[in-house]
Amino acid sequence: MNNCLFCKIIAGEIPCKKLYEDDDILAFFDIKPAAPVHFLVVPKKHINNLLELDSQDSLLAGRLLYRASELAKEQGCGEKGGRFIINAKSDGGQTVDHLHIHFIGGRSLRPKLASIFLG
Ligand code: AMP
Ligand code: ZN
């Protein structure tokens, strides 16, 4: 078993506030929300980050984006929108080395708050 936090959440070893699950994808609320709506969408398959995506992962990557979009709408952010973020590796500020899409919404992130995920 690897030592990945999100793999442990996927395996049920660490609890999460689950939002969605299917055979390939898990979505859960971020433990430290940056906005009223802040969830993460992750592949169940361990992929370190977006820079390490294989060609056979392209369908999965598309499904992750689609699910993030659907869940953002379900969370009431379809009309006003929000921000979809994928941090990658050290310069990107990635702290958990398992590919994940953030969605943050439910409040205005422009322009004063735009720096939250821009560093
Ligand atoms: P990143 O900085 O893009 O790697 O984002 C990692 C995110 O995971 C951060 O927003 C954390 O707040 C979040 N996080 C860390 N541990 C947990 C956890 N146990 N459950 C839910 N979210 C978590
Ligand atoms: Zn993992």
Atom of ligand 1 nearest to the CA of 93: 2
DSSP string, 16-57: --EEEE-SSEEEEE-SS-SSSEEEEEEESS----GGG--GGG
Q: How far is the CA of 18 from the centre of ligand 1 (A)?
A: 13
- pLDDT one-digit tens code per residue, 49-78: 999 999 999 999 999 999 999 999 999 999
This prediction's pTM: 0.95
112 — pLDDT class (breaks 50, 70, 90):
low
Ligand 1 atom closest to Cα of residue 85: 3
Report the pocket of ligand 1 as residue ranges, CB < 6 Å.
5, 14, 16, 28, 30-32, 87, 93-96
